[in-house]
């Protein structure tokens, strides 16, 4: 199955700033997704990253807050904009290939 490299693995950021998270897949994949996981909770889908077009956001998530890029079939970024302490969470990217869904190792974000 696909292998995903996600970075940074963790960061501590000041409120009001933005952080961009990157995911690189070792093979071309049709679908990529971004999730958020709050401490002790399950994963919540933020958006589907569409190659060559705007991402598709889930209810409660908007492009201005979480802009996403997907310039090709192996790479995507998620930006957490104008951060507040409520954005502290783990962010994970995922890719779908022939074998199922694979996840990056996650980015642990703390906003202070």
Partner 1 sequence: RKEVEQDPGPFNVPEGATVAFNCTYSNSASQSFFWYRQDCRKEPKLLMSVYSSGNEDGRFTAQLNRASQYISLLIRDSKLSDSATYLCVVNKSSASKIIFGSGTRLSIRP
Residue 63, number of CB atoms within 10 A of its CB: 12
Is residue 60 within the footprint of partner 1 (CB under 8 A)? no
Q: Is 7 in the site for partner 1 (CB under 8 A)?
A: no
- Sole binder of partner 1 in the list 45, 51, 61, 81 (CB under 8 A): 45
Return the residue of 65, 79, 96, 97 that touches partner 1, per CB under 8 A. Answer: 96
Using CB under 8 A as the binding rule, whether residue 23 contacts partner 1 is answered as: no
Can residue 100 be called a binding residue for partner 1 (CB under 8 A)? Answer: yes
With respect to partner 1, which residue has the nearer C-beta, 9 or 17? 9
Q: Which of 48, 51, 77, 88 forms a contact with partner 1 (CB under 8 A)?
A: 48
Cα(44)–Cα(17) distance, integer angstroms: 23
Closest CA to 75 of 90, 95, 101, 92: 95
**Residue closer to partner 1 (CB basis): 56 or 82:** 56
Contact 23, 31 (CB under 8 A): no
- Give the CA-trace dihedral at 69, 105, 90, 82, to 10 degrees: -30
- Sheet holding 68-72: strands in order across? 4-7, 19-25, 75-80, 68-72
Chain residues in the site for partner 1 (CB under 8 A): 1, 30-31, 33, 41-45, 48, 92, 96, 99-106
């Amino acid at each position: 199955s696909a292998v995903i490299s996600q970075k940074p693995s963790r960061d501590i950021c000041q409120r009001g700033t933005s952080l961009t998270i990157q995911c690189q897949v070792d093979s071309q994949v049709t679908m990529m997704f971004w999730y958020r996981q709050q401490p002790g909770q399950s994963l919540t889908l933020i958006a589907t990253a569409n190659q060559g077009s705007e991402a598709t956001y889930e209810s409660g998530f908007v492009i201005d807050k979480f802009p996403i890029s997907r310039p090709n079939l192996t790479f995507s970024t998620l930006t957490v904009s104008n951060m507040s302490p409520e954005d502290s969470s783990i962010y994970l990217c995922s890719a779908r290939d022939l074998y199922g869904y694979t996840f990056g190792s996650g980015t642990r974000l703390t906003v202070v």
